Chain A
Amino acid sequence: MNTEDLVRLLKTSSGDDAGCEEAFALLDQYVEAELEESDVEALLPAVAEHLRNCGPCSEEHAALLVLVREHMGI
């Protein structure tokens, strides 16, 4: 963490954020929507916002995306 990171963090959009629990509840739908190339920003905007802001949830989103992609043979 340096001062640039800190300022960037403070500047992060204050849009509607689903929070960790709701994002987790919808994460499977979000990932499948992404793989179907749906507009997840429009479908689940609060989840998209949360994934931009939350490191742990973002890591888990990336991991789930890889697993599901492999499972579906994409």
Chain B
Amino acid sequence: MSEMPPVTLTVTGRQGVAGSSAIAREALDAESRAWVQSLSVEGDERVQALKRLYDLLLRAARREGQERGRLVPVAGVELDDICQQAAGDALVAVTSKLDDFRGASRFTTWAYKFVVFEISVKLRRHPWRGRTIPTADDDPVWDRLAEDPRQADSRLESLDLVHALRQAVERELTPRQREVFKAVVLNEVPGDVLAERLGTTRGAIYKMVHDARRKLRRRMEAGGYMEPVAEA
């Protein structure tokens, strides 16, 4: 069994489960209430609860690691190290956000969410370590798209479409949107990988792609390359 990493816990403004959170937590199911209570008290009970929680998170990380490990070139000790890091980071996230837990779901479901996030991000980033992210304007992905053998039956239409889309990308998008669109959409760089490189969040990258997509769709619709899609 792996050792739980050192975690410094500061549960501010709370004595046991009493205090400002007590009303919301009256609705907790028994298992969730037990988790919150044991993680909130001082002393050995909390230490034991932290250990049980870490073990739960590590099992979840390993399960997900095995599942995703089939798609990522990492295995054995290296994979297990990533799983332990994910479980440790998730433990820190869960304990630091414990005051935010209001029992809208079971505690374990809420906690699993953090370890799923940690292991997923780490495994998505792993294959990109040390690799350059393609964003240059002369990116060869356009040529690859135009030469896609799956489009052989409609080659001329496909070339026309790729040309129109490339023009729309160059003319309609801001430099930053272009950079992000080329990386995430054309080169399939995961959003959280690009976010780490650009010092931003996955949500911000997603929003940029979302806005870029909308601009491009309008341009392609106006050019008669796509049927109009109703805006919500």
- Which A residues are within 8 Å of any B CB, using their own CB? 1-4, 6-7, 9-17, 19-21, 24, 27-29, 31-32, 53-56, 59-60, 63-64, 66-68, 70-71
Known: A16-B232, A24-B117. A10 touches B207 (CB 8 A): no
Docked-complex contact A64 and B217, CB < 8 angstroms: no
- Residues 113-139 of B, flagged 1 when their CB comes within 8 A of A and 0 if not, give 100110011001000000000000000
Which segment, of B19-27, B38-46, B103-111, faces chain A?
Answer: B103-111
Q: Please pick, from B108, B192, B206, B217, the residue contacting A71 in the complex, using a CB distance under 8 A.
A: B108
Tell me how far the C-beta of A22 lies from the nearest C-beta in chain B, rounded to whole angstroms: 8
Tell me how far the C-beta of B218 lies from the nearest C-beta in chain A, rounded to whole angstroms: 9
23 A-B pairs within 8 Å (CB atoms) are namely A1-B187, A2-B150, A2-B151, A3-B145, A3-B162, A3-B165, A9-B185, A10-B213, A14-B229, A17-B210, A21-B203, A24-B117, A28-B104, A28-B110, A55-B190, A56-B202, A59-B120, A60-B116, A60-B117, A63-B116, A68-B109, A68-B112, A71-B108
Contacts of B207 in A (CB 8 A): 19
Looking at chain A's contact residues, the main secondary structure is helix
Tell me how far the C-beta of B72 lies from the nearest C-beta in chain A, rounded to whole angstroms: 12
Q: Is B14 an interface residue (CB 8 A)?
A: no
Docked-complex contact B213 and A64, CB < 8 angstroms: no
Tell me how far the C-beta of B186 lies from the nearest C-beta in chain A, rounded to whole angstroms: 6
Please give the number of chain B residues whose Cβ is less than 8 angstroms from any Cβ of chain A in the complex: 49
Q: Bound complex: CA of A53 vs CA of B187, how far in Å?
A: 17
Q: Is B79 an interface residue (CB 8 A)?
A: no
Contacts of A67 in B (CB 8 A): 60, 63-64, 112, 116
Docked-complex contact A31 and B232, CB < 8 angstroms: no
Q: Please pick, from B105, B112, B162, the residue contacting A29 in the complex, using a CB distance under 8 A.
A: B105
The 4 residue pairs across chains A and B that have the minimum distance between CB atoms:
A20-B203, A28-B105, A15-B232, A10-B217
Contacts of B110 in A (CB 8 A): 28
Docked-complex contact A56 and B190, CB < 8 angstroms: yes
Tell me how far the C-beta of A74 lies from the nearest C-beta in chain B, rounded to whole angstroms: 12
